[in-house]
Amino acid sequence: MSDGITLVLGGLFLAIAALYSTVGHAGASGYLAAMALVGAPPAIMRPTSLTLNILVATIAAVKFYRAGCFSWRLFWPFAVLSVPFAALGGSLTLPIGIYKQLVGVVLLYSAYRLAKKPIPPTIAARPPRRVVSLIVGAAIGLLSGLTGVGGGVFLTPLVLFMHWGDPKTTFGVSAPFILVNSIAGLVGLWIQAAPLPGQIPIWAGAVIAGGWLGASYGSRRPGSASVQRVLAVVLLIAAIRLLTER
């Protein structure tokens, strides 16, 4: 990968981390989109996105926790089965064609959810039944490990749509959920010796800076609708490329 592409990705990763972390996300689907746009080798996409995810999710989790947005009652039933299933998903290798199609669908779904109008900040929230949380967590964990995302793009809209949590609490739960799933998925990739590119230190510095800025802002304010729509366009472009590439 050339120095120019490395720097371009660094700038994109910084912006993605800043934007995603405003709503407690770590940016994996955005990192995948950026790497797809520049034609990065598929072999490095999952380990790279998960590594950067861990860094940003750690920052976001701390920021939202300190802001009083975290709910252990909502978090742990989703997380307890998502972790082993994320590790399982990370240890599996799909054919390149299927992988691209699967990631493309994930990005399309993310774009759709980001383009929707934000949920009002105050709603009558009620956590789901325990068995529902366990099943949902396991399914999201498996898909997270397979695709290289932390699961926030699935969990956050589902929780909001089902009124299982208000936006602030949902964002506060999403960050640690993404963190534990990203760690589990990366462990699964390590089992199969998935490669990490040499540019990781540069990109890590970029997402740490972006994640700090975004999480500092988002932990004090509701998510921005304009930010969600800009991200939706980026994800849509990348999804179309992945789904149409042969």
**What are the extents of the domains in the chain?**
3-244
Query: Dihedral through CA 96, CA 102, CA 104, CA 107, nearest 10?
Result: -130
Q: Report the chain's mean pLDDT, rounded to a whole number.
A: 85
Residue 246 has pLDDT above 70, yes or no: no
Residue 210 reports pLDDT greater than 90: yes
Tokens linked to 216: 């500092």
Of 96 and 90, the one with more pLDDT: 90
| Cα-based torsion angle of the residue sequence 35, 205, 16, 19 in order, rounded to the nearest 10 degrees | 170
Retrieve residue 203's tokens: 């990109």
pLDDT at 201 over 80: yes
pLDDT at 68 over 80: yes
- Worst-scoring range by mean pLDDT, 26-30, 72-76, 168-172, 228-232? 228-232
Residue among 81, 102, 79, 107 nearest 92 (CA): 102
Q: Which residue type occupies 170?
A: T
User: Closest by alpha carbon to 202, among 2, 60, 11, 41?
Assistant: 11
Per-residue pLDDT, averaged over 41-69, amounts to 92
Q: Render pLDDT for 115-151 as a digit per residue (tens, 0 to 9).
A: 776 666 666 778 899 999 999 999 998 888 777 788 8
Distance CA(213)–CA(215), nearest Å, equals 6
Region 148-166 average pLDDT: 84
Q: Within 10 A of 208 (CB to CB), how many other CB atoms are there? A: 17
Would you state the structure tokens that stand for residue 144, as one six-digit string?
């997270």
Structure tokens at 90: 């990370």
pLDDT of residue 18: 93
Position 233 pLDDT exceeds 90: no
Structure tokens at 222: 């509701």
Lowest mean pLDDT among 64-68, 80-84, 117-121: 117-121
